[in-house]
Each structure stands twice: as structure tokens, then as C-alpha cells.
Amino acid sequence: MHLSADSPTVGVVGGGQLGRMLAEAASPLGVQLVVSDPMPNCPANHVAREQLVGEFDDYDTLRSLAEQVDVLTYEIELADPDTLDAVSEETGTPVHPAPETLRTIQDKLVQNETFAEAGVPLPDFRRVDDADDLRAAGDELGWPVMVKARTGGYDGRGNVPVESPDDAADALAEVGAGGGGAVAEELVDFERELAVIGARGVDETATFPVTETVQREEILRESLSPARTDEATRERAHEVARSVLAELDGRGVFGIELFERERADEANEILLNEVAPRPHNSGHWTIEGCVTSQFEQHVRGVVGLPLGPTRRHGPTASANILGTVSEPARARLAGVEEALALADTHLHWYGKREVRPLRKMGHVTIVGESEPPLSPVRDVVETLQFG
């Protein structure tokens, strides 16, 4: 591929913070981004070449996007694979990762069945169509269980633990399973949660160093790399990630979420939790922490450039800046000067106009020397306040 003034243009369905950081990573490569998003002046609009305003599944919007770019990708699972297929066929614009991969990931039952058939280790699960199915699944798997809506959930949404058969109907209503059904999974008593950012290129794959993710209320709070586990366990996590990548179609970056479960008198077990066909919150630390960030890697992959090296510069910790307000308000961040005065702090502010309770508004990252600097990165976040 020859880079010039007419270098590749990537169309991204979704213009949130992931689209924004994709645009930031694409620019040094000479790659331009055009995004489509239903929200005017979305976060990515500040750095992308252009934004088209339209729903994630609107055919006319996506066709217009495809007509002015060289390749399409997406930064949100709400993109519609059928629309992407139709637009790609009409315009000849390729889509990466492949729409078929998006179909697999969007339905958690299909996702689990696909990886289980391929021999990827994951928690035991059952299909659930109604409350009676959930009660039967709980009896088989053992109470409590985790119930997940088959479609529509991401970043912890659409998941709820179910303590007993008496809670089955309420749990299905809470996850919004409706007519789409749900999946019941054994509730894993994990030692820690891990993640691996994997990438597929034209004829190569790559994985980033294993990350430990710290979550509360189903929301990622901090990411640490290297994960605080032994090297053998980290290698098993890489092995599972590589087996996941082998089952996916198309190019780009994938967020692979894992459980580490302790076994008596045995090596710790790695189980697949979920896969995201896009850059993932657990990989934000790679912007400063690795030679190639997950966002640059995604751009490289979808455009067809060689994948970059994934070496870590040093132990790294990253923490999300979450909305601490009780109700929606104008987004104004205070304490920035104090936060940036702390050593080695990297601040990423997503440019969202409204702050809401626990909404992801930005993140901070610090690269350390001997271990992931968890306490310093927490101190930085605590200096930042909304007001």
C-alpha cells in the first residue's frame, strides 16, 4: 500500500470515545476517519474528518458512509450486520471485522455455542426462553447463576445474577430478555478477571500483554498490566485468546474478556467470558503503555497494513473517570491542573457534553517501573471532580 495525500479513509459506525481514539490513532498513519452516529457532534466528531448523523442501522446513512470511504468498521455492537452486508454488496466497500463475526458476537447464545464447539473453555451455560427454563437451568448448573440477555447487552449491561428459582421471572424482566431469550451461565467463583486484546491482520494475528481488570457494579474501574498472576497463567490466557481469534472472520481488534479460576492442586483455569469485536475499555492502557496502541492496531488491521509490535513499555495502570453526579448535568471537569501535576499522568477526556451517573467520561493512565501503579492512578482520579 502506498501512502499519499489520498491515503485510505476508514468509515466507522459509531462515534463515541472509541471512534474518537481511533481517529487520534489514525492521523499519524495518514489515515482519515469518517464516522456515523445518531448523536450530532458526537465525541469522535471533534477529531474525525466528518460525521454523518444517522442511526446505527440506517441503510441510507451507512450507504452514504460506505460511498466515501475505502473500508468500513464499527466501534459499537449495535451496528447492524445485515445492513452492513447489504451496503457492502451494493458499494463494494469491505467491512472489517466481518459482519458474520458481528452476528456471532451480538447473540450471546450463538457466541457461547460457537466457542464451545471450537473447544474454547468457558463457563457451563444453558439456553433460556422463559422463567421455567431459567429455573431448570439453575437446578442443573447450581444456584446462583448469571443470566444474560442474548442480544442488546454490552459493557456489563443485560447481565444479572439470580440467587434462587423465586427470582427467575424478575431477573428475566431486569435484563430485558423479552422475546429474545437469554443465556444462563454458571456463576464463576473467579480469582480475578483478565482481558487480552487480540488482533487479526491480513495474514497474521497478534495479542497484547494480559490485563487484569478491576470491576465494580458491572463497570470497569481499573486495568493493570501485567496482571497480578503468574507467568504460566498469563500464557494460558494468551492461548485461549489465540484460540478465540482463530474462530473469527475479518480484520481488526477484539477485546477478549476472561476469568481466572483457582483450582485445588491444579494450575489455575482460564475461562472465556465474552468477546467484543472492536477496541475495548480494558485496552485503553495500551495508548501509553505499549509500542502500538489497540487503536492504531485496529486501524492497521482494517486498512490492511502490517500489525504493529505489542511490547509493553513498562508496568501500566489505567482508571476510568466515571460520572459521580446523582442526575444528568453539563459535563465540566475540575481538578485537572492538580491531576496533571502528579508524576507521569496521562489524561484522556472524551468530550461528552453531559455527565450521567457512572457514565464513562474519560480515563487516566500511568506507566510505572516495577509494578502497575494502581495507587497513583487512583489518586489521580480522586483529584478529578465534576462541577
Q: Express each pLDDT in 12-60 by its tens digit.
A: 999 999 999 999 999 999 999 999 999 999 999 999 999 999 999 999 9
Element housing 51 (H / E)? strand 50-53
The domain made up of 192-386 has a fold known as: D-amino Acid Aminotransferase; Chain A, domain 1 (3.30.470)
Ranges in the chain annotated CATH 3.40.50.20: 9-95
Contact 152/180 with Cβ under 8 angstroms?
A: yes
In terms of DSSP bridges, do strands 9-13 and 32-37 run parallel, antiparallel, or are they unpaired? parallel
So what's the pLDDT on residue 4? 45
- How confident is residue 6, by pLDDT bands cut at 50, 70 and 90? low
163 in a labelled binding site: no
CA distance 9 to 162: 46
9-95: CATH architecture: 3-Layer(aba) Sandwich (3.40)
Tell me: pLDDT of 295 over 70: yes
Q: Grid coordinates standing for 219? A: 463497570
Q: Grid coordinates standing for 329? A: 448535568
148 in a labelled binding site: yes
Query: Which of 310, 303, 259 minimizes the C-alpha distance to 283?
Result: 310
188 in a labelled binding site: yes
So what's the pLDDT on residue 155? 58
The proportion of the chain whose per-residue pLDDT surpasses 70, expressed as a percent, equals 96
361 CB-near residues (< 8 Å, 6+ apart)? 321, 322, 323, 331, 333, 349, 350, 352, 355, 386
Q: Is 381 left (phi over 0), alpha (psi -120 to 50) or beta?
A: alpha
How far does Cα 11 stand from its chain's mean position? 19
CA distance 143 to 154: 24
Residue type, 185: E
Ranges in the chain annotated CATH 3.30.470.20: 192-386
CA distance 74 to 248: 15
At residue 133, what are phi and psi to the nearest 5 degrees? -60, -40
240 in a labelled binding site: no
So what's the pLDDT on residue 240? 98
174 in a labelled binding site: no
- The tens digit of pLDDT for each residue in 175-210 reads 876 567 899 999 999 999 999 999 999 999 999 999
274 in a labelled binding site: yes
CA distance 387 to 343: 24
244 in a labelled binding site: no
Contact 156/282 with Cβ under 8 angstroms?
A: no
The SS3 of residue 332 is coil
The domain made up of 124-186 has a fold known as: Dna Ligase; domain 1 (3.30.1490)
So what's the pLDDT on residue 266? 80
Q: Grid coordinates standing for 381? A: 482520579
- The tens digit of pLDDT for each residue in 53-111 reads 999 999 999 999 999 999 999 999 999 999 999 999 999 999 999 999 999 999 999 99
Ranges in the chain annotated CATH 3.30.1490.20: 124-186
Question: What's the mean pLDDT in 339-349?
Answer: 92
- How confident is residue 367, by pLDDT bands cut at 50, 70 and 90? very high
So what's the pLDDT on residue 3? 45
CA distance 178 to 30: 45
CA distance 259 to 274: 10
